[in-house]
Amino acid sequence: MTGRTLRPVTLLAVAVLMVVAGCGGGSTTDTPTPTGPDLGSATTPSATTLATATTPTDSTTPTQQSPTRQEESTTRRSNERGRVDIPVRGAGTLPFDVNRTYRRTMELLGNPAGVDPPEQIYLYRPDTAWKPTVQDPFAQTLLDARRESNFTFERHDGVVIGVTGDEGPDALQFTVVHGAQFESVDDTSGMQAAFAEDYHRRQVGASIVEGSASYVAFQYMRRYTDRNETWLRTATDEYLNASPAGKYAWATSHFGQQYVADRVDSPSDHWRLYRNPPNTTEEVVHGLAPGSEPPTPLSVTVDGERWSVSDRQTRGEMFTRVVLAAELPEQRAARGAAGWGNDTLVTLERNGRQGYVWTVRRDSATDASEFLQAFRAAMDRRGDRWGGYWTGDDDAIRIVRVAPETVVVATGPTRFVTGVDVTGSNESVTVGTR
């Protein structure tokens, strides 16, 4: 790989939190704003959490390098003998040899050309604990995830890690490897997708970006520590036992890591997924080859003058899975989300209010029935059902089967939801509003 361009990575929710150069310099504290892949507008994007752990075999006598002059940061460059000298600054030390960890990570990645070590690793202690939140307005209507977070992080150049003092060496090392992999990524189609405007395309790109970094870190831990496979899989994946907001935040890392592991032979082989990423989150979730499950035809027309269309997006199977899994057992959610054919989310506005019409086409009538039943069960747990729709917080939710394969979900203000009228066929739906 050549011609790599360093890009900022977003906050990683890992018992520690990390941000890579490009997120802003200086030493000010600020509310966390995703500066890398937008993983569905969660306050903190998808990543993994590691529990406090005992010292792995790779841990050595703590190494701290605290240059007093800014010019010494230039020693981070690899010299002719392949040595690196990454300064560690801020609050505390890292309980392992960070330079050896970086060198080993690069070896796992096949020593990609044109990649420099991070300018520094900066440690700080946040005043408040990070908690996953959901800022996506449509997702908020379907998820019990409106909790706000007052978490702040310090902006510095290099890799920034927030520590509480309870992290074990494994958690910290996993984070450093995760960041090193991210810095090695060039401007490929997979990376570009992670910054796309369309929600679904971002989810696909983020699955490769976050999934690859987690996969490489997982492989590093398996090779260079004494942790067994069961411990690693449990400790590096928060998705299954997460809150609704946590599932929303960590889905791309969870399914992305599985996708990468299923489709590559080694960390040095995973680069091809960036060049030829999957096309849909259905392919990500099921480990399918790119282009093997193209979306089925779906056209959604809005007929009405009072509510104006402000946005159209695709949400995909992964989002569907999260909505169902937030309230249902994972296996039931998987059955309800499987068989995704296509979907269109239309955002409508009127007098500063927003309403949403989400049209979902399934691969078959059986898949549509499974989704309908699972969605109803999830919403029964999410809110109170009254008069054919559910209410939760300030929103109402209603689901209508338009055709054997196609279902429409309306959410938003009660007056909007009850006024939506939908007609059509499997592949063509008309939405009326009043």
Q: Is residue 54 part of a domain?
A: yes
Cα–Cα distance for residue pair 150/76, rounded to 1 Å = 34
Is residue 293, in this structure, part of any structural domain at all? no
DSSP for 337-382, please give it. Answer: H-SEEEEEEEEEEETTEEEEEEEEEESSHHHHHHHHHHHHHHHHHH
Q: Please check the confidence at residue 422 and state whether its pLDDT lies above 80.
A: yes
User: What are the tokens at 127?
Assistant: 């005043």
Asked if 98 contacts 136 with a C-beta cutoff of 8 angstroms, the reply is no
Are 274 and 315 contained in the same domain? no
Q: Are residues 249 and 398 in the same domain?
A: no
Question: What does the pLDDT look like over 289-335, one tens digit per residue?
Answer: 999 999 999 999 999 778 999 999 999 999 999 999 999 999 999 99
pLDDT of residue 229: 81
Do residues 16 and 145 lie in contact, with contact meaning Cβ atoms separated by under 8 Å?
A: no
Select from 284, 314, 336 the last residue of a domain: 284
Which residue segment(s) compose the domain that 380 sits in?
Answer: 299-432
Of all helices (H) and strands (E), which one includes residue 237?
none
206 with 340, same domain? no
How does pLDDT run across 169-178, given as a tens digit for each residue? 898 999 899 9
pLDDT of res. 149: 66
Which range scores top for mean pLDDT: 35-44, 47-56, 146-155, 343-352?
343-352
Residues 306 and 422 reside in one and the same domain: yes
Last residue of a domain, one of 253, 284, 315: 284
Q: Does residue 10 belong to any structural domain of this protein?
A: no
Predicted confidence (pLDDT) at residue 34 exceeds the cutoff of 90: no
Quote the pLDDT of residue 183. 81
Tell whether 342 and 262 lie within a shared domain: no
pLDDT in tens, 237-292: 889 889 999 999 999 999 999 999 999 999 999 999 998 999 999 999 999 999 99
If asked whether residues 365 and 314 sit together in one domain, one would say yes
Question: Token pair for residue 56?
Answer: 């792995």
Full-model pTM: 0.82
Find where tokens 């810095």 sit: 183
- Domain-embedded: residue 142: yes
The verdict on 234 and 309 lying in the same domain is: no
How is residue 170 written in tokens? Answer: 């494994």
More confident residue, 426 or 10: 426
Q: Which of 284, 319, 335 is the last residue of a domain?
A: 284
Q: Which of 316, 340, 359, 348 is nearest to 416 (CA)?
A: 348
Q: In a 3-state reduction of DSSP, which class is residue 185?
A: coil
Instruction: Look at the chain and report how many structural domains it folds into.
Output: 2
Close Cβ partners of 257 (under 8 Å, ≥ 6 residues apart): 48, 210, 211, 214, 215, 218, 236, 237
